[in-house]
Amino acid sequence: MAQERTKESLAQFFRLFKADNCRRIEYVVSDMWRNYLDVVQEFVPNAVHVLDRFHVMKKFSEALDEIRREETRELRVAGYEPVLRKARWCLLKRPKILTDRQTKPLREILKHNLKTVRAWLSREDFQRLWE
């Protein structure tokens, strides 16, 4: 859009584009940078704002990892088997690229009714929806 990646440079683009043209914009695609979100909301509030897949999946993975860490602590405190211990990459990598060594633990984890499993399934469902 502009030489600098700033809130003002994006706003300047929309100002140059004129209000009448902005009203006709139906879709905007961007990453999840807060400045993009704010400026798009200000200048084209009725457009459908499509966020890029990479950043959405990154947020899913961050949430999944946080749930896994929290649930690992809860299970340990409750005296349960450490099924999630050392399972981070089994859960965060895409199933297509898991090694044989990672596939087996993932299958074991998916047998349990855990918050982590439900979060993983949600992320995978979203991934399939996007595809």
Query: What band does 18 get if pLDDT is binned at 50, 70 and 90?
Result: very high
CA distance 35 to 28: 14
Q: How are the residues of the chain apportioned to helix, strand and coil, as percentages rounded to the nearest 5?
A: 65, 5, 30
Higher-pLDDT residue of 26 and 5 is: 26
HSE (CB half, 13 Å, CA atoms) of 34? 0
- Written as one string, the DSSP assignment of 34-77 is HHHHHHHHHH-TTSEEEEPHHHHHHHHHHHHHHHHHHHHHHHHH
In this prediction, what percent of the chain has a pLDDT beyond 90? 75
pLDDT for 1: 58
Cβ-contact 29, 50 below 8 angstroms? yes
Domain locations in the chain as residue ranges: 7-51, 54-130
- Condensed to tens digits (0 to 9), the pLDDT of residues 55-110 reads 999 999 999 999 999 999 999 999 998 889 889 999 999 999 999 889 999 999 99
Indicate whether 130 pLDDT > 70: yes
Cβ-contact 97, 68 below 8 angstroms? no
CA distance 50 to 42: 16
Cβ-based burial of 86 (10 A; exposed 0-12, middle 13-18, buried ≥19) = exposed
pLDDT for 3: 76
- Residue in 61, 62, 83 with CA at minimum distance from that of residue 72: 83
